[in-house]
Amino acid sequence: MEKIVRPETMERITTKVLADAFIEEQIKEIRAQVGDKKVLLALSGGVDSSVVAALLIKAIGKQLTCVHVNHGLMRKGESEQVIEVFGKELDANLVYVDATDRFLDLLAGVSEPEKKRKIIGGEFIKVFDEEASKLEGIRFLAQGTIYPDILESDGVKAHHNVGGLPEDMQFELVEPVKLLFKDEVRVVGEALGLPHDMVYRQPFPGPGLGVRCLGAITRDRLHALREADAILRDEFDKNGLAGKVWQYFIAVPEFKSVGVKDGKRYEGWTAIIRAVNTTDAMTATIEEIPYPLLHTICDRITHEVEGINRVFMDITPKPIGTIEFE
């Protein structure tokens, strides 16, 4: 695979003028690459895939088919929101695929993080291949790969958009934002006219909760993780932190610890809070959460989520830790 390097002379996109110039350049490149053929896009609803979708719609219109795969590893209410925003509001060609059982069955008993990522990435491509076979003229697979994905894949970890693709993949890739950092993608997204809350939506990895349900994924622990994460997001929304903190989420490791509930011994998992700020995802600092709010989050999670009896706070910056645990 040819190594992709951002040119040193490439100006950082910080203004609408620069974003508009980038958009026009990409529209020309997309049209030149795609011609009159059709493109399949993995649409998660995150900022990266949303910006790619908007670019492609602007460049090639209905030649684009967006596929949203519910792999069972989405956040609470996520797939429903994607259908509402993209299928109805943006009038995209949207195909919804519920592949929950398919993915979770493949992941059963798999604990090694890189193997989990490869399984999820590989199965995504298979799903797309199946959907493409139902459509005529599909020649291209669009992806929301950004530059930090490429950098982190060079000896750090396999990213869902880089290096996890099978050798016999039948699609040619279209990756219009692969040289951009996350902050640049947001500027481009606003210049494209995407809703502000979509452009600044919480980052979410391609493998979804699969890399936050640490170790081998079980359905009961995955459910607990999803519910705990929803509580964290709800409390951040109510307390004005949603727009202040770049990324915040819960991770749940597979080990259990002893607790007490209703006067009885209660073994449960630990919910780990991670809240970080960054501009380009290459470095990250820890957001200091008010202690009273941490108490509220802890109380809600341990009382409302079955199976969790402890709440920790991760205060590790990047580097030395990456933003995700796996």
- The CA distance from 153 to 52, in Å, is 21
Q: What does the pLDDT read at residue 184? A: 97
Q: Give the residue among 17, 284, 51 at the shortest CA–CA distance from 180.
A: 51
The model carries a pTM of: 0.76
Q: Give the residue among 167, 79, 163, 71 at the shortest CA–CA distance from 120.
A: 71
- The CA distance from 326 to 148, in Å, is 16
Other Cβ atoms closer than 10 A to 253: 16
Q: What does the pLDDT read at residue 310? A: 98
Q: Give the residue among 64, 68, 61, 30 at the shortest CA–CA distance from 46.
A: 68
Q: What is the mean pLDDT of residues 185-203?
A: 88
Q: Give the residue among 82, 6, 13, 22 at the shortest CA–CA distance from 49.
A: 82
Q: What does the pLDDT read at residue 201? A: 81
**Local confidence band at 155 (pLDDT 50, 70, 90 cut-offs):** very low
Question: If you average pLDDT over every residue of the chain, what do you get?
Answer: 90
- The CA distance from 108 to 302, in Å, is 26
Q: What does the pLDDT read at residue 136? A: 83
Alpha-helical segments (H) within 3-112: 16-34, 47-60, 78-82, 100-107
Give percent above pLDDT 90 in the chain: 67
* CB 52 within 8 Å of CB 143: yes
Q: What is the mean pLDDT of residues 39-45?
A: 87
Other Cβ atoms closer than 10 A to 6: 13
What tokens were used for 193? 């006219």
What tokens were used for 312? 């920790």
Residue 169 pLDDT exceeds 70: no
State the CATH class of domain 16-199. Answer: alpha beta
Q: What does the pLDDT read at residue 217? A: 97
Q: What does the pLDDT read at residue 231? A: 98
Per-residue pLDDT reduced to its tens digit, 203-246: 788 799 999 999 999 999 999 999 999 999 999 999 999 889 98
> For residue 283, what is the DSSP state?
S
> For residue 3, what is the DSSP state?
P
Side chain identity, residue 251: A
Q: Which DSSP string do the residues of 154-213 spell out, in sequence order?
A: TTT---TTSS-S-TT--SEEE-TTTT--HHHHHHHHHHTT--HHHHTPPP--TTGGGGTB
- The CA distance from 265 to 115, in Å, is 35
Q: What does the pLDDT read at residue 45? A: 82
Q: What does the pLDDT read at residue 312? A: 98
**Local confidence band at 167 (pLDDT 50, 70, 90 cut-offs):** low
Residue 160 pLDDT exceeds 50: no
Of 21 and 121, the structure prediction assigns the larger pLDDT to 21
Per-residue pLDDT reduced to its tens digit, 93-108: 999 999 999 999 999 9
State the CATH class of domain 212-314. Answer: alpha beta
Q: What is the mean pLDDT of residues 156-184?
A: 70
- The CA distance from 24 to 11, in Å, is 15
- The CA distance from 191 to 212, in Å, is 32
Per-residue pLDDT reduced to its tens digit, 264-309: 999 999 999 999 999 878 899 999 999 999 999 999 999 999 999 9
Per-residue pLDDT reduced to its tens digit, 46-94: 889 999 998 999 999 889 999 898 999 999 988 887 888 778 877 889 9
Q: What is the mean pLDDT of residues 156-173?
A: 56
Sorted by where each begins, the domain ranges of the chain are: 16-199, 212-314
